[in-house]
Amino acid sequence: MPKPSPPFRIGHGYDLHRLEPIAPDGPGRRFVLGGLAFEHDRGPVGHSDGAALLHAITDALLGALGEEDIGQLFPDTDPAHDGADSAIFIDAARRRVDEAGFEIGNLDATVILERPKIGPRKQELRLHLANLLGVDSDRVNLKGKTHEKVDAVGEGRAIEVHAVVLLLRREDPATG
């Protein structure tokens, strides 16, 4: 008899996006983090809206399910994803979590970024992410760090994000 699968799954997601001067000075898109716009003279370069935080969270959700990653599911060669709002990736991952019979237990993410500072808007970001994920904000945690001026991230030329998510098997009254 097959062993029952565990009632929880953990997933990790990582993303890095290059930050470039914003048009017309360069190829950077508007600086958007987790769906919120920030004032900054640089922005991410990427096929979709370059939202590294949402990409890392999407990969954490997909990873917990043991599914293909964001790059495989939404290839950057597909023009449909050009400039796409990265919330669509979160939505797609959430749907898969739901279909697999799981719910989000909690999410913890670390954003590594020299500028802009996210500290003053951390609570706002937390609430926004919780909304996107359809969970209470006490299930979402966010940390901001700098890279101590070292390497590309420390020189403000990139943003890096790590995200860890725990999924819990949903208790459906119908199935006990």
Enumerate binding residues for Mg ion (CB under 5 A): 15, 55
Of residues 118 and 161, the one with the C-beta less far from Mg ion: 161
Cβ-proximal residue to Mg ion, closest one = 55
Of residues 50 and 156, the one with the C-beta less far from Mg ion: 50
b/e per residue, 48-70, with b = 16+ CB within 10 A?
A: bbbbbbbbbbbbbbbbbbebeeb
Of residues 87 and 100, the one with the C-beta less far from Mg ion: 87
Instruction: Kindly write down the DSSP assignment for every residue of 45-69, as one continuous string.
Output: --SSS--HHHHHHHHHHHHHHT---
Of residues 69 and 148, the one with the C-beta less far from Mg ion: 69
Shortest Å, Cβ 171 to Mg ion: 34
Of residues 161 and 167, the one with the C-beta less far from Mg ion: 161
Shortest Å, Cβ 46 to Mg ion: 6
User: Measured in Å, how far apart are the chain's first and last C-alpha atoms?
Assistant: 20
**Strand partners of residue 9:** 167
Q: What 8-state DSSP symbol labels residue 22?
A: B
| Total H helices, total E strands in the chain | 5, 7
Shortest Å, Cβ 91 to Mg ion: 16
Shortest Å, Cβ 158 to Mg ion: 11
Shortest Å, Cβ 170 to Mg ion: 29
- Helix 122-133 with 52-65: angle, nearest 10 deg: 40
